[in-house]
A = this chain, B = another copy of it.
Amino acid sequence: MIRFECDYLEGAHPSIIKKLEETNFVQTAGYGEDPFCRSAKERIKDQCGGMDVDVHFLVGGTQTNLTVIASILRPHQGVLAAVTGHVNVHETGAIEAIGHKVLALPSEDGRITAAQIRHAYEMHWNDANHEHTVQPGMVYISQPTENGTLYGRKELQDIHDTCRALGLPVFLDGARLGYGLMAEVNTLTLKDIVGLVDVFYIGGTKVGALFGEAVVICDPMWKKDFRYLIKQKGGMLAKGRLLGIQFDTLFTDGLYYEIARHADELAIRLREAFIAKGYRLRYDSFTNQQFPILPDEHVRKLKEKYSFELWEKMDDAHSAVRFCTSWATREEAVDELIQDIKAL
């Protein structure tokens, strides 16, 4: 079975394993206050254009999302997010469990717009009984989205400007940020993102690390006491160095970008093969997740040899499916899949 069902099938990039081995007996302080974390933070700040951001390392995405959101909202506030957003659908109610409603906005492809945000904000404040409803307190977006799509510079600038005007902090979930940054259609750098959102994170788990997400707090307002929240929510690793070592490695000599580009390039080859075959795409993704719509017969055929995710039944005879590439996907696997698609 050749596997394309997700982007966390393997361990970590070998450089990380090697570094873990080399540093294994170095003694350090715990809880992220070690030289590896310090070095990794400096490297990330450099990539953020040397701006005065705070960087923290957490273990996983759900934990990161709930910790960041807990650090920003007051009790009566909720978070605006695409109905498809990870916080709305795939975290077992983690956001509600810390007390906040996810205010879901309709979305065709995982993205929301500045206009939707403004509309939701105005609907709230124009409601004579707004005190009886959840106040929009921040905005959550994903880049790339859960559907592989990307916000362009203009769209993100609009969200930034609108949210700045409305007083809504923006949190960008970058679980797959590397794959977004390296997409051929992307023009946004980490430095750009720092200027456009209040808090974001750089995903490690799905981009070459064993685990780990690097939270970058751009707005000074949300920096205070963040480590207390990491600890309280169970995200402070005793051996925090493990996160430092991993991100230090990923941000040495551009490894993070290099491995993400690898995945994107393979994904684009798949995309082109799907299109060449005449399949429509469920979402117009230029990142490592591809969502072609296949005849169910082809799905069955491919399932014999490949693992991939059934995404959505489109009609009686067609289904959207998801193929993921990653930093670890082998070219040969993609070659073989493409041959098999052609042969269908």
**A binding-site residues for B, Cβ under 8 Å:** 3, 6, 8-12, 14, 17, 20-21, 23-28, 30-31, 59-64, 66-67, 70-71, 74-76, 78, 89-102, 129, 131-135, 205-206, 210-211, 225, 227-229, 231-239, 241-242, 328
Subset of 30 A-B contacts with CB under 8 Å: A8-B238, A8-B239, A10-B24, A10-B27, A11-B24, A11-B239, A12-B24, A17-B20, A59-B234, A62-B232, A63-B234, A64-B234, A70-B75, A71-B74, A71-B75, A75-B97, A75-B98, A75-B229, A75-B232, A76-B232, A92-B132, A92-B134, A92-B232, A93-B99, A93-B232, A95-B96, A97-B232, A101-B102, A210-B242, A211-B238
With A62-B234, A67-B234, A98-B99 already in contact, 5 other A-B pairs whose C-beta atoms are closer than 8 Å: A63-B235, A76-B228, A93-B232, A99-B99, A135-B228
In the complex, what distance in Å separates the CA atom of A206 from the CA atom of B294? 50
**A194–B318 alpha-carbon span in the complex (Å):** 47
Residue of B nearest to A135 (CB): B228
- A225 partner, pick from B3, B25, B70, B74, beta carbons under 8 A: B74
Please, which residues of chain B bring their CB within 8 A of the CB of A24?
Answer: 10-12, 14, 17
Chain B neighbourhood of A25, CB < 8 A: 10-11, 328
Residues of B within 8 A of A11 (CB): 20, 23-26, 239, 241-242
Least CB separation from A12: chain B residue: B24
- Are A234's CB and B60's CB within 8 A? yes
Query: Which chain B residues border A133 with CB–CB below 8 Å?
Result: 89-90, 92
Are B90 and A100 in contact, with the CB atoms below 8 A? no
**Contact call B94/A233, Cβ cutoff below 8 A:** yes
A211 near B233: Cβ-Cβ < 8 Å: no
- Given A17-B21, A21-B21, decide whether A234 and B94 contact each other with a Cβ distance below 8 A: yes
* Contact present for B239 and A211 (CB under 8 Å): yes
Residue of B21, B26, B92 near A228 (CB, 8 A) is: B92
**Cβ A237 vs Cβ B75 within 8 A:** no
Closest to A233 in B: B234
Tell me the complex Cα distance, A89–B231, Å: 12
A24 and B14 CA atoms in complex are apart in Å by 8
Interface centre among A9, A134, A234 (most CB of B within 10 A): A234
Known contacts: A90-B129, A90-B133. The answer to whether A78 contacts B60 by CB under 8 A is no
Report the minimum CB–CB distance from A187 to chain B (whole Å).
29
Which 9 residue pairs are nearest across A and B when measured between Cβ atoms? Answer: A63-B234, A76-B228, A11-B24, A92-B232, A93-B134, A9-B27, A96-B101, A93-B101, A92-B231
Residue of B nearest to A241 (CB): B11
The CA of A70 and the CA of B97, in the complex, are separated in Å by 11
By beta carbon, the residue of chain B nearest A245 is: B11
Known: A10-B26, A96-B96, A205-B238. Contact between A132 and B90, CB under 8 A?
Answer: yes
